Amino acid sequence: MEIFFQQVLNGLTLGGIYSLVALGLTLVYGILHVPNFAHGAFYMVGAFIAYTLMTQWGVNYWLAMLGAGVVVAVLAAVAERLVFHPLRNASGLHPMIAAIGLLLFLEAGVQVIWGPDFLRMPTPYTGIFDIGGVTAPAQRLLIIAAAFTLMLALHLFLTRTVMGSTIIAMAQNREGASLVGIDANRVAMLTFAVSGVLAAFAATLYAPINLVYPAMGHLVITKAFVIIILGGMGSVPGAILGGLIIGFAESFGAFYVSDHYKDIIAFVALVVILSFRPQGIFKGAH
């Protein structure tokens, strides 16, 4: 039974991180209908910024996370303006290729600045708790708490603030939103900024139990895509639920099926599910 709860804990950790990354991706898709392949690069840049703030400047963990959030938010908003805004009327293929260009640029840029090596991010929370036989490293508990707090904060932002409501309105109906005076350009930049913040926070939370390197975003972003396809592209609850499903599938799959192949589980789940339901699990049709 301890083993079972251990996997639950791992599942919540993974699921929390995946959900945060997938939320940013799904918000951007909801507004611009662009699968932002560069989202994993935002995640990666966030980890590098936080790493540098902590190791070079001696900034505290939480402030470093905040700093990474701000930098990546600005980066994402600028990317929207320079890359995706000029392509808002282009066909489906071209924004995808532009996103790939952005991804390649950011990865190469990070390699120029920080080099290709694997870096280890320090964390002040190294303790290990023992909850009824389940070993719980402090950082994992922290990830779970922070991820769900962030999801709650995002929910409140989207539903309780005017700024957040403009994002929802725009995702629901572009023309309608324009008619009531919502500035489409501002909302697009805002959405990118929010997605950047979420990616940077997720990266800073997860990096201490993982490593920091230029390709660190690849697997996470690909899984985030699996999640938003499963949850319905553009759906906020779908991204959270999808993230948890994949997180649990991986932690239980790694233990009960095969640790060696754990990274494939998410993709196989996608292939199997889409073979039977091309429209995803939670959606009637797209």
Partner 1 sequence: MMNRLHGPLGWALLLLAGLVFPFVTGNDYHLTVMSTAYLFAIATLGLNLIVGYTGQFNLAHAGFMAIGAYTVGILTVDHGYSYWLSFFMAGAVTVAVGLPLGWVSLRLKGHYFSIFTLCVGYIIYLVIEKWDDLTHGPVGIIGIPAPEPIGDFGFETPRAQYYLMFFFLVLGVWVMRRIANSLLGRTFMAIRNGDELAEALGINLMRNKLTAFLISVLYAGWAGALYAGFVRFLGPDLAGVHHTFDMTMYMLVGGLGTLIGPLLGSISVPWLTQYLQFLQEYRFVIFGPILILLVIYLPHGVVGTWLGWRARQAAAARAQAKPE
Does 274 help bind partner 1 (rule: CB under 8 A)?
yes
Does 35 help bind partner 1 (rule: CB under 8 A)?
yes
Does 281 help bind partner 1 (rule: CB under 8 A)?
no
Does 112 help bind partner 1 (rule: CB under 8 A)?
yes
Q: Which is nearer to partner 1, 11 or 280 (CB)?
A: 280
Does 284 help bind partner 1 (rule: CB under 8 A)?
no
Among 8-16, 101-109, 124-132, 159-167, the segment contacting partner 1 (CB under 8 A): 101-109
Does 250 help bind partner 1 (rule: CB under 8 A)?
no
Map the footprint of partner 1 across residues 220-239, applying CB under 8 A: 222, 225-226, 229, 233
Does 97 help bind partner 1 (rule: CB under 8 A)?
yes
Does 185 help bind partner 1 (rule: CB under 8 A)?
no
Does 90 help bind partner 1 (rule: CB under 8 A)?
yes
- Judged by CB under 8 A, the residue of 54, 98, 202, 203 near partner 1 is 98
Does 101 help bind partner 1 (rule: CB under 8 A)?
yes
Q: Which is nearer to partner 1, 70 or 274 (CB)?
A: 274
Does 211 help bind partner 1 (rule: CB under 8 A)?
no
Q: What is the DSSP annotation of the chain? A: -HHHHHHHHHHHHHHHHHHHHHHHHHHHHHHH----TTHHHHHHHHHHHHHHHHHTS---HHHHHHHHHHHHHHHHHHHIIIIIGGGTTS-THHHHHHHHHHHHHHHHHHHHHH-S--B----S---EEEETTEEEEHHHHHHHHHHHHHHHHHHHHHHHSHHHHHHHHHHH-HHHHHHTT--HHHHHHHHHHHHHHHHHHHHHHHGGGS-B-TTTHHHHHHHHHHHHHHH-TT-HHHHHHHHHHHHHHHHHHHHHT-STTHHHHHHHHHHHHHHH-TT-SS-S--
Shortest spacing between CB 144 and partner 1, in angstroms: 26
Does 282 help bind partner 1 (rule: CB under 8 A)?
no
CB crowding 220-237: b at 16 or more within 10 Å, else e: bbbbbbbbbbbbbbbbbe
Task: State the number of CA atoms in the 13 A half-sphere of 134 facing the CB.
Answer: 16
Shortest spacing between CB 11 and partner 1, in angstroms: 20
Binding interface with partner 1 (CB under 8 A): 29, 33, 35, 37, 82-83, 86-87, 90, 92-98, 100-109, 111-112, 116, 218-219, 222, 225-226, 229, 233, 260-261, 263-264, 267-268, 270-271, 274-275, 278, 286
